[in-house]
Amino acid sequence: MITEILKGFVTTGKVAFQPAQTIQYPEQRRPVAARFKGRHELKRYDNGLEKCIGCALCAAACPADAIFVEASENTDEKRFSPGERYASTYEINLLRCIFCGFCEDACPTEAIVLESNYELSYTDRHDAIITKDKLLVAPATGQPTTPMQVEPGTFDRPVPDMKNPD
Amino acid sequence: MDQGKHILFRHRDIANIRDLDVYLAHGGFEAFKKAVTTMTPQQVIDEVKNAGLRGRGGAGFPTGLKWSFLTKDSFPRYVVINSDESEPGTFKDREILTHNPFQFLEGAMITAYASQANTIYNYVRGEYWDVVAGLEQCVAQLYERGFLGEKLFGTEFKLDFYHHRGAGAYICGEESALLESIEGKLGQPRLKPPFPADKGLYAKPTVVNNTETVTNVPFIIQNGAAAYRQNGTEKSPGTKLFCLSGHIQKPGNVELPLGVTLRELIYTHGGGIREGKGFKAVMLSGASSVVLKVDDALLDTPLDYESVAAKGAMLGSASVIVLDETVDLSWVILKTTRFFKHESCGKCTPCREGTYWMLSILERINKGGAAKADVELLQNVASQIQNKCLCPLGEFSVTPVLASLKAFRGDFDAHTADGAPKTAPKKAAVAAGD
Amino acid sequence: MADQVTLTIDGVSVSVPKGTLIVDAAKRIDNDIPVFCYHPKLKPVGMCRMCLVEVGRVMKDRATGQVVLDDAGQPKIGYGPKLETACTTPVEPGMVVVGASQKVTDARDDILEFLLTSHPLDCPVCDKGGECPLQNLTLRHGPGKSRFIYDDKQKNDKHVPLGGPDDALIFLDRERCIQCARCTRFCDEIADDHVLGFYQRGRKIEIATFSEPGFDSKFSGNTTDICPVGALTTADFRFGARPWELTTSASICNHCPVGCNTTFSTRREAKSGGKQVIKRVLPRQNEQVNEVWICDKGRFGYHFVESPARLTAPLVRKDGKLVEATWDEALTRVAETLKAAGSALVGLAGGRLSNEDLFAFKQAVTGVGGKALLDAQLAGGELTTVVGVSVGTDLGQIGKGTAILVVATDLEEEAPLWWLRVKAAAERGATLIVANARPTKTDRHAKHVVRYDVGNAVSTVAGMLLEGSSEYATAFAQAENALVFYGREGLDFAGTQALAQACANLLIETKHVGRANNGLIGVWTSANAQGAAELGLTAMPATPALLAAARAAWFMGTDPLGDGRLTQNDLPPFTVVQELFLTETAKAADVVLPAAAWAEREGTYTSGERRVQRFYPAVPAPGSARPDCQIIAEIGKAMGATRFGGFPAQVFLEIAKTVPAFAGLNYAAVSAVAPQWPDVGGRDQYYGGASTTNLQGLGVQLPSAAERGVVPQAARAEAPKLAHPVGTMLVLPVAKLFDRGATFAPSTLVHPRVPAPFVAINPVDAERIGIADGDDVELALDAATLVVPARVTADAPEGVLLLPVGLGVDTPEGPAAARVSKAVRVAV
């Protein structure tokens, strides 16, 4: 009986001085996996133009009907994305979203991407509907933001850098 | 043809036969007068049927039979002569129209009489504007002399002749597209049925014949079917104009009886291959041909419709393009495909998209940088087009491609990175004069 | 059952009428042969080669003509060496068609691969995505991976306006076009507007428009329905929404009396602040009314529903100003005053109100002893209830043996789909007689074109009763069936009554009444004037005399002050206006009640062919606007004049109880559907892209009084006298489809195509007076003096000026004499 008790104490002692596994969140944050599906972001091209062309395929693919898209026309004076079409309204209802990533798979231009932000809490249900301004990433340093004025004829195609597969 | 025996190229026997008086002095318009004053239209048709004259535009369809297809009791009727002559390698009609115009006109006029038509349209390709100018003068002279117009030879028969110039479209050599063009519409082929013999020009029965075909008719009416059958073979009677071009010593037109062998045509009349080179391949019907590899068996083939068909090719318009041993068939096919792609009317999907696709593949092959898979792809695409097109242009665009890929695959593979043979290709099989 | 041909398609036997094409025979047994260039309403061309199938025919001995039998004693079937196009091959007895073989599947795969080689990768940005036959067929037959190098793709112009960049209604994307020629064939064969054609050849072949303004056709929008890809799209619906995001509601166009069946596509969107809005209008298939077509006015003329100028709350005049009030307050005020007015109440309703509204209106007004009238410029409504067309009338079925008289109207401008159907009937052999004082587009297909002097329509028609007076009179009298379309060109109101009577007399005398495809059709200026006539509302244009003795007036859906027919002084002491907008009449009223537009509620319209058709709500009404019949029912109840509830379905049942022509009808009957042929817009979407299947109602035709046993009597038709003093010319008001009317003006995208005011003058007259094209012309009429720019054209007869109505110039009610001179610009 004493041995059992002593064994227990030894275990306690061993573990007591082991380094703690606890991560002190929020001061420390555990890095997420490369394919972690967190909050969405609408990406841009290197030249500052938005990748999203307002095609609403993400909305169609979404099993939870969480995405709402309205499209409008680009002009060379006020250009948001390459090609004729851009998303003038883009909303995601994070309360509906199940973070499955189908929108990311459906997107033809790799515009909508699920990133690594998982800190999504709100005090009002309306705050759960994130609009385009909150989804769009900032342009790279030195690049203009959208809408931008461009040389007519430079961005005629909706997917400018398309290459032949393999 | 021996001197003095020409039926079609009589200008090579008789100087100045393009002068109306000279033509008349040599029996001109006696056949027409004979037909109009002493024969019924049916008798004319029967004579031409018995003569076995076949269409010289390429299809080789029996002419008399074609005339007999006109829908009964439907008038007015039209005769349309197809002088569009746009097949690459074809220049025979031009010589007739320039140098022996009155025989052609007489033949067309007899055709109109046989068809009970009172109007003839001669559709000439736009590039022959100078030829048309000359022809219009000839027609004016015929009106003056009473061969055209009202009450010809004191009968009730009246006849008018009009020229209509094309505007640079090979597709308008296809008979239904030609009729569309005359009607002022877009030159695209029509659906068949209905056929022109039933609903042709302006939806009336129409006979469409080639220039050379009708130029045979005066001889037949003047001298009879039996005389016509003195030349040629049983199934392909008469003489044919052969257009020689390519690597031949003496390019040009020559009139010979049907059934002359390829050997005789090339070496006796054409002077053989230029610079004595080897004879690699031949295209017998212009760009639309099955490209044939030349060997002794082929050289001994008689050139008539049946014998050539037995070889898997078509005699067509007998536009013989000669290719010597220096020729790279993939370059030849690039040229023919570029031609068909340019001339495609765009109405049906396989021809419009397919010729464009074949051309882009061929350009890549010829430029270098293509792979063997591209040559496979070309074969595949060409087969995909076959048997799906609305009119013969699409079908014929594929014929030389498939034939060349079959007989001269090495020429194509030589351009590819992974298909070029390790050893140099063998020289062409046949040397000069064999 | 004569002339039926039996054949086998993919093992299934089917019997179809002789002359049927294989592709249609297959459709009958739900075998969908894929097509692109084929459309059942167009002549087949066999261009796209997608419908290639194996065709086997019964073999016959060449010499004897006998059928060759096989060992089992069955007819031997010989297959052709090549696949044949199903869309151009008519069926033959004993034919065997195979579409389900590997050979055919490979052929379809091949053709589709060809089409995709240069088709751009536009699906994400293309409006057709989701309702695109090419997309659907690609899923079935397309290669998963392209063998065509992307850089080799033919590049072409995209988003080409067919017209100027600011006036184009239709845009063309040349890269997406698969050269099926449906659009060019539609324009040539159906619309008879040769404004679209092919340009260039081979791979470079492209669509081009040959008119100024571009694509100048009143039916241009239909090409966007039949285009199998997203090459032709409307400017109206550009990037509007994806088809799967749209909700559809059935409706009936409310612009003209044809009553085309339409579909609203609506969506709740953020752009409009979360409101449900109409994104587009599409045709709905009804083979007896509009087939699968609508005109551009119906397609692009719905924006007034969502105009920000819509009335949203009742207004009551207090201290000389109109201020917002509650419904209770407004309705009480109205009911009290109108009841007090009693027989001195005049109610004037417009023709775009539904049957329910008009019926309730009549019951309420007459219930207190007042007069309920339809504010209209074309009389003869009550005649059409007697000798109008009977049940079973279908313009799509008439051809040889039918005579159609079109008198005093320009059908293409006033009722475009009737023009289209009459033209098609003429092409099928109907004897078309067009009588007018000037040339119209209907002349092109007429067997007889009758020209008379302005104003002589009545005597011309009356003259047709004289036996042997003319070839066309004889043709009309001897035809098995006869229809008369009559309008108001060259006549004042009284004149139109006389014309209607003359036409009725003609039909009665020649025994063309009381049966299908015979009768009188009025080319009304509004959608439901026929309904008003059926419900017993007398047509009467608003004039000061009408209101002289009135103590109260109730205007519903009509704006006489805005139209210049009344002034404020003509209005009685109390005026109620029930309207969509704050019109001129409303501004002068004492109470203004906001009404719901037709797209915001349900109801029924009666088309000019006497077909009752139901429309459904598409979007909610703005503010507190209510349906007209609901407002009226409340007022009626408060006045003690009516007792029925205000919901349209209830009112309709009342109509069925009260009006003999509507006996036995209810909403269920009006909404009944049956399968239609050709099967356009079905599940395969091959023939359209946007679905036009009709699942909401084909409508019901009302029996005419003649059909119900009333014997129609001819009556005197007094030809009107037209004052034409020496030295004057006649100003003839003519209708234009695209105008500045209240229900069309808010559709700003069409504004560039609405002509600026002009007057058409003959070159001879122009020279005589010294007017060049574009000069201002002064027209000194009795009633007013107008200054309008001139257009010199031979379309105007000599001595007559054509003045289009509704373009912003106050036109006289009927033809009027005027002294014409070149206007002198006064420098100030």
Question: What is the complex's ipTM, to 2 decimals?
Answer: 0.92
Q: How far B379 CA sits from the closest chain C CA (Å)?
A: 13
- Given a contact cutoff of 8 angstroms between Cβ atoms, the answer to whether C633 and C615 are in contact is no
**Token pair of B361 as six digits:** 């593949």
Query: Is B105 in contact with B161 (CB distance < 8 Å)?
Result: yes
Q: Residue B394's closest chain C neighbor by CA?
A: C202
Return the closest-CA partner of residue C9 out of C123, C80, C86, C102: C86
Nearest CA distance, C241 vs chain B (angstrom): 31
Q: Do B244 and B270 meet the contact criterion of CB atoms below 8 Å apart?
A: yes
Residue corresponding to tokens 């479209």: B169
> Residue C124's closest chain A neighbor by CA?
A55
B353 vs C81, C115, C149: nearest CB: C115
Residues present in chain A in total = 166
Question: Up-side HSE of residue C129: CA atoms within 13 Å toward CB?
Answer: 19
SS3 state of residue A136: strand
Report pLDDT for A22.
87
Q: C239, A83: Cβ pair inside 8 Å? A: no
pLDDT at C563 over 90: no
Residues of B with CB under 8 A from a CB of C: 169, 171, 186-187, 191, 341-350, 352-357, 360, 364, 377, 384, 387-390
User: Running DSSP on this structure, what letter comes out for residue C537?
Assistant: P
Question: What b/e sequence results for B205-231 when a residue is b if at least 16 CB atoms lie within 10 Å of its CB, and e otherwise?
Answer: bbbbbbbbbbbbbbbbbbeebeebbeb
Residue C439 β-bridge partners: none
- Tell me the CA distances in angstroms from B247 to B272, B281, C214, one per residue in order: 9, 10, 53
**Cβ-defined contact of A84 to C158 (cutoff 8 Å):** yes
* pLDDT at position B434: 36
Reduced to 3 states (helix: H, G, I; strand: E, B; else coil), residue C804 is strand
Question: Of C44, C114, C204, which has the smallest distance from its Cβ to B353's Cβ?
Answer: C114
Does the distance separating the beta carbons of A159 and C121 come in below 8 Å?
A: yes
pLDDT of residue A138: 93
Fold of B329-413: de novo design (two linked rop proteins) (1.20.1440)
On whether the CB atoms of residues B383 and B350 are closer than 8 A, the answer is no
What is the mean pLDDT of the segment spanning C74-95? 94
Residues 6+ apart with CB under 8 A from C72: none
Q: Does C441 touch chain B (CB under 8 A)?
A: no
Q: Do C125 and A53 touch (CB under 8 A)?
A: yes
What is the C-alpha to C-alpha distance for residues C404 and B404, in angstroms, rounded to an integer?
Answer: 64
Phi, psi (rounded to 5 degrees) for C592: -120, 125
Q: How far apart are the first and last CA of chain C?
A: 81
Residue A164: band (very low, low, confident or very high) from pLDDT cuts 50, 70, 90:
very low
Candidates C82, C148, C201; nearest CB to B346: C201
Q: What is the pLDDT of residue C782?
A: 87
Do residue B350 and residue C118 have CB atoms under 8 angstroms apart?
Answer: no
Q: CATH number of the domain at C315-377+532-603+610-663, please?
A: 3.40.50.740
- Asked if A56 lies within 8 A of C125 by C-beta distance, the reply is no
Contact with chain C for residue A60, Cβ under 8 A: yes
Task: Tell me what pLDDT residue B423 has.
Answer: 46
User: Reduced to 3 states, what is the DSSP secondary structure of residue C337?
Assistant: helix
Helix (H) or strand (E) holding B321: strand B319-324
Contact C503, C309 (CB under 8 A): no
- Residue numbers in C near A53 (CB within 8 A): 124-125
Q: Tell me whether C198 touches chain B (CB under 8 Å).
A: yes
For residue B433, the model assigns a pLDDT of 39
**Backbone torsions φ then ψ of C589, nearest 5 degrees:** -85, 170
| A93 in contact with C, Cβ within 8 Å | no
- Cross-chain Cβ contact C198/B186 below 8 Å: yes
Residue B170: count other Cβ atoms within 10 Å of its Cβ: 23
Q: Max CA-CA distance within chain C?
A: 102
- pLDDT beyond 80 at C469: yes
Cβ–Cβ under 8 Å, residues B147 and B180: no
Give the C-alpha separation, A146 to A158, whole Å: 16
Q: Counting beta carbons within 10 angstroms of the beta carbon of residue C543, is it exposed (0 to 12), middle (13 to 18) or buried (19 or more)?
A: middle
CA distance C535 to C558: 18
For the stretch C358-373, pLDDT in tens is 999 999 999 999 999 9
- Residue C62, chain B, CB below 8 Å: the answer is no
CATH class held by domain B10-228: alpha beta
How far C45 CA sits from the closest chain B CA (Å)?
A: 7
Residue contacts between B and C (CB atoms, under 8 Å): 92
Query: pLDDT tens digits, residue range C3-61?
Result: 899 999 999 999 999 999 999 999 999 899 999 999 999 999 999 999 999 999 999 88
Does pTM top 0.90 for this prediction? yes
Q: What is the pLDDT of residue B425?
A: 40
CATH fold of C112-234: Alpha-Beta Plaits (3.30.70)
**Is residue C373 within 8 Å of C349, Cβ to Cβ?**
yes
C45 touches chain B (CB under 8 A): yes
Helix B329-343 to helix B392-407 angle (10° resolution) is 170
Number of alpha carbons in the 13 Å side-chain half-sphere of residue B69: 16
Q: What is the mean pLDDT of residues C461-489?
A: 94
* C-chain residues near B341 (CB < 8 A): 202-203
Instruction: Extract the residue ranges of chain B whose pLDDT is less than 70.
Output: 1-4, 419-434
Rounded CA separation C312/C331 (Å): 15
- CB contact under 8 Å between C239 and A156, yes or no, is no
Q: B239-324 in CATH: which number?
A: 3.10.20.600
Taking only the tens place, the pLDDT of each residue in A83-95 is 999 999 999 999 9
C319 touching chain B per CB within 8 A: no
pLDDT at C724: 87
Listed residue (C393, C379, C703, C715) closest to C404, CA to CA: C393
Superfamily of domain covering C381-523: Dimethylsulfoxide Reductase, domain 2 (3.40.228.10)
C822 touches chain A (CB under 8 A): no
Query: What is the rounded distance in angstroms from the CA atom of residue B431 to the CA atom of residue B361?
Result: 33
The predicted-structure confidence for B263-291, as pLDDT tens digits, reads as follows: 999 999 999 999 999 999 999 999 999 99
pLDDT tens-digit readout, C268-317: 999 888 999 999 999 999 999 999 999 999 999 999 999 999 999 999 99
Spell out the domain ranges in chain C: 4-100, 112-234, 315-377+532-603+610-663, 381-523, 729-822
Side-by-side strand order, sheet with C519-522: C448-451, C431-436, C402-407, C481-486, C519-522
- State CA C426 to chain mean position distance: 19
C799: left (phi over 0), alpha (psi -120 to 50) or beta: left
Q: What's the gap in Å between the CA of A144 and the closest CA on chain C?
A: 24
Contact residues on chain C for A70, CB-CB shorter than 8 A: 241, 269-271
Q: What's the helix, strand, coil split of chain C in %, to 5?
A: 25, 20, 50
**How many CA atoms within 13 Å lie on the side-chain side of C254?**
29
Residue C50 contacts B where some CB pair is shorter than 8 Å: yes
More confident residue, C576 or C695: C576
Closest CB to C244 among A60, A108, A156: A60
- Contacts with C152 from chain A: Cβ below 8 Å: none
User: Which of the other chains make 3 or more beta carbon contacts under 8 angstroms with chain A?
Assistant: C
pLDDT at A94 (0 to 100)? 96
Q: Which residues pair with C265 in a beta bridge?
A: C248, C280
Question: What is the least distance, in Å, from the CA of B332 to any CA of chain C?
Answer: 21
What average pLDDT does chain C have? Answer: 93
Give the mutation candidate from A70, A74, A88, A166 for the C interface (greatest C CB count, under 10 A): A70
User: Which whole number is the average pLDDT over C777-787?
Assistant: 90
Give CA–CA dist C386/C708, Å, rounded: 9
| Torsion angle (degrees, nearest 10) of CA B377, B379, B382, B386 | -130
Identity of the residue in C149, C242, C269 whose CB atom sits nearest the CB atom of A164: C149
| Interface contact C83-B346, CB threshold 8 A | no
Q: Is B156 left (phi over 0), alpha (psi -120 to 50) or beta?
A: alpha
For C201, the closest of B344, B353, B384 (CB atoms) is B344
Residues in C closer than 8 angstroms to A89, CB to CB, are: 269-271
3-state secondary structure of C58: strand
d(CA B112, CA B55): 16
Give CA angle at B216 (B210, B218), nearest 5°. Answer: 120
Whole-number Å distance between alpha carbons of C534 and C383:
10
Per CATH, is C4-100 categorized as 3.10.20.740? yes
Q: Where along chain B do its domains lie? A: 10-228, 239-324, 329-413
Provide the 8-state DSSP code for C683.
Answer: T
For the stretch B15-62, pLDDT in tens is: 999 999 999 999 999 999 999 999 999 999 999 999 999 999 999 999
Mutation for C interface: B348, B355, B363, most C CBs within 10 A: B348
The separation between CA B183 and the C-alpha centre of its own chain, rounded to angstroms, equals 23
C43 near B CB under 8 A: no
The structure tokens 């007559």 sit at C800
Asked if C149 is an interface residue toward chain A (Cβ–Cβ < 8 A), one would say yes
From chain C, the residues in CB contact with B348 under 8 A are 46-49
Which pLDDT value is given to residue C229? 95
| CATH class of the domain defined by A32-153 | alpha beta
Token pair in block for residue C656: 């069925």
Cβ neighbours around B204 below 10 Å, total: 18
